[in-house]
Amino acid sequence: MHTVDFNRPPYVEWELRAIEDRNASVATGHYVAKDVAYAIIMRPGSRDRLEKEAETWLAELKEKSRKN
């Protein structure tokens, strides 16, 4: 039986994803995408994956570090 280890830092994978820029698509009349960086965060011992935009996740970490 595996247990989640909250004392160890998470494992993070970084990924660029093509996300539709809806305003640009409407303006040009065809599909327009922009690259958005994502962080895929996994705790040691867990199968769960949390996927967040990298900028959002890093801002949350920065805010948490200020509070501690």
Q: In total, how many domains does the chain have?
A: 1
pTM above 0.85, yes or no: no
What does the pLDDT look like over 14-59, one tens digit per residue?
999 999 999 999 999 999 999 999 999 999 888 899 999 999 999 9
The answer to whether residue 17 is domain-embedded is yes
Residue 5 belongs to some domain of the structure: no
Q: Beta 11-20 vs 50-53: how paired, if at all? A: unpaired
57 is a domain residue: yes
Domain range enclosing 22: 11-67
Residue 61 domain flag? yes
Q: Which DSSP symbol is given to 30?
A: S
User: Residue 13: beta bridge partners?
Assistant: 40
Strand intervals (E) in the chain: 11-20, 33-42, 50-53
Q: Is the pLDDT of residue 6 over 80?
A: no
Cα(62)–Cα(46) distance, integer angstroms: 24
- Is 1 part of a structural domain of the chain? no
**4 falls within a domain:** no
